[in-house]
Amino acid sequence: MKIIQLMPTMSYGDAVSNDALAICRLLAESGISSSIYAENVDPRLKEKSVFLLKDLPELKKEDLMIYHLSTGTDLNFRVGEFRCRKVMVYHNVTPPAYFALYNRGLEELCTQGLRGMVHLRKTFQTVIADSEFNRQNLLDAGYECPVQVAPILIPFDDYAQEPDGETIRKYSDGRTNILFVGRIAPNKKQEDVIRAFDCYRRNYNPEARLILIGSSFGTENYLEKLKRYAKMLGAEENVVFPGHISFRQILAFYRTANAFLCMSEHEGFCVPVVEAMYFRVPVIARSMCAVPETVGEAGILLEDARPEPAAAALNRVITDGALRERMAAAAEKRLQELSYETVSGRIRELLLPLVRGAEGVKA
């Protein structure tokens, strides 16, 4: 029996690709070998178990395919043609309307992604969703197969790497650093982060700094609009867009942050809030989509996008040491629930019966 994971693109350092590699690893830990096939494979990926889709051997009905859906692709409409048993891992597709003003290509890609998701509703034996929010998306789209929830497998070991020293030195200058990490994209609502920050700096801390980390590829005009907005608010000197930076620099920003502020309007899981918890950075987040379930009780959840409560929350976490300690303890507890051991145990629970359930299978 062959076990393969299938996706359109295996990128280097991308959350979906990392998730696939982690699943490969956890199957190997259970003595089960598997491979990953993708239409496009980043040449920087040196993993021996990653191959191009064109090299996929014929799949028989006892074989198992784990399909990762996160974007629009022709592959969404071809998956049903494979004869093997099929499972999907659903990472969510951003609603296309967010890109309507900024990038028609991305809008079309997301539209195709959602069409693909609906098209596949009768294709899978079971589906694993990253969050209850994602699970509900699928049920609303007409999925009737079992849809189980298992969080993303996060590579916590990677965060123990040495952070970039120069960034640490530059941003440890006594100024308060407020951080948000996430693609510069309209669904992440970086404008609301800037607005809340502006309210905070005007009322409490004029020297504070807001650091917005994330790639803006495909949303360059949205990034330029955000920069113009910050300038028109008089906060040009306080709002930093580091642009394309290394992983070690990202680690450095987490280590020098005093608070993490997330105002996203659409998230399927939100890995950065977990990263912030890992680095003991107090999390303040808008309670939308999958964010409240990812944060749990380890952060302050805001009811809406109004800047005043966000600013008051920022001031509270930055000035109240006892509150920060309590939040760090709650984060520690939440991190245990999202640890590699806990999440991989959950995924094994879901996948192993399927792996071992085929006729004549020895796993």
Partner 1 sequence: MEQEVQRVDIEEIMRKIREEAEKLRYEEPVSFEDVEIPAVMTEKNDRDSEFSLKKAEQTLDHINAMWEIPYGHVINGNPLKKLLARLARKINKPTGAPMAEDITKFNAEATQGMNEIMKFIRGALKKEDEMSRRIFELETEIRQLKKSAGKKA
The yes or no reply on residue 152 touching partner 1 (CB under 8 A) is no
Out of 240, 323, 328, 350, the only residue in the binding site for partner 1 (CB under 8 A) is 323
Q: Using the rule CB under 8 A, give the single segment among 79-87, 97-105, 163-171, 344-352 that binds partner 1.
A: 97-105
Judged by beta carbon, residue 249 or residue 315, the one nearer partner 1 is: 315
Q: How far is the CB of 189 from partner 1 (least distance, A)?
A: 9
Site for partner 1 in 26-55 (CB under 8 A): 40-43
3-state SS class at 3: strand
Interatomic CA distance for residues 269 and 137, integer angstroms: 13
Q: How far is the CB of 61 from partner 1 (least distance, A)?
A: 30
The yes or no reply on residue 185 touching partner 1 (CB under 8 A) is no
Judged by beta carbon, residue 309 or residue 340, the one nearer partner 1 is: 309
Q: Using the rule CB under 8 A, give the single segment among 164-172, 176-184, 218-226, 270-278 that binds partner 1.
A: 218-226
Q: Is 257 exposed, middle or buried (0-12, 13-18, 19+ CB in 10 A)?
A: buried
Instruction: Give, in order, the Cα–Cα distances in Å from 276 to each of 25, 259, 295, 298, 312.
Output: 25, 8, 10, 11, 19
Out of 31, 160, 232, 359, the only residue in the binding site for partner 1 (CB under 8 A) is 232
The yes or no reply on residue 70 touching partner 1 (CB under 8 A) is no
Residues 6+ apart with CB under 8 A from 179: 210, 211, 213, 253, 254, 257, 259, 260, 261, 276, 281
Instruction: Give the DSSP H or E segment for 147.
Output: strand 147-149
The yes or no reply on residue 272 touching partner 1 (CB under 8 A) is no
Q: What is the DSSP string of 227-264?
A: HHHHHHTT-TTTEE---S--HHHHHHHHHT-SEEEE--
Q: Using the rule CB under 8 A, give the single segment among 87-95, 157-165, 307-315, 355-363 that binds partner 1.
A: 307-315
Q: How far is the CB of 24 from partner 1 (least distance, A)?
A: 20
Q: Using the rule CB under 8 A, give the single segment among 160-168, 188-196, 338-346, 354-362 that binds partner 1.
A: 188-196
Query: What tokens does 358 get?
Result: 């085929």
Phi and psi (nearest 5°) for 362? -115, 115
Q: How far is the CB of 266 from partner 1 (least distance, A)?
A: 17
Q: How far is the CB of 166 from partner 1 (least distance, A)?
A: 21
The yes or no reply on residue 229 touching partner 1 (CB under 8 A) is yes
Judged by beta carbon, residue 128 or residue 212, the one nearer partner 1 is: 212
Q: Evaluate the CA torsion angle 2, 6, 9, 11 in order and state its sign.
A: negative
Interatomic CA distance for residues 108 and 100, integer angstroms: 9
Q: At what angle do helices 321-337 and 271-278 cross, to 10 degrees?
A: 120
Judged by beta carbon, residue 102 or residue 143, the one nearer partner 1 is: 102
Sheet holding 177-181, edge to edge: 239-240, 209-213, 177-181, 259-262, 283-286, 300-302
Q: How far is the CB of 361 from partner 1 (least distance, A)?
A: 34
Judged by beta carbon, residue 205 or residue 344, the one nearer partner 1 is: 205
In the block, which residue shows the tokens 């598997």?
Answer: 34
The yes or no reply on residue 221 touching partner 1 (CB under 8 A) is yes
Which residues of this protein are in contact with partner 1, per CB under 8 A?
Answer: 8-9, 11-12, 40-43, 71-74, 101-106, 108-109, 112, 191, 194-195, 198-199, 202-203, 217-218, 220-222, 224-225, 228-229, 232-234, 297, 300, 306-309, 311-313, 315-316, 323, 326, 330
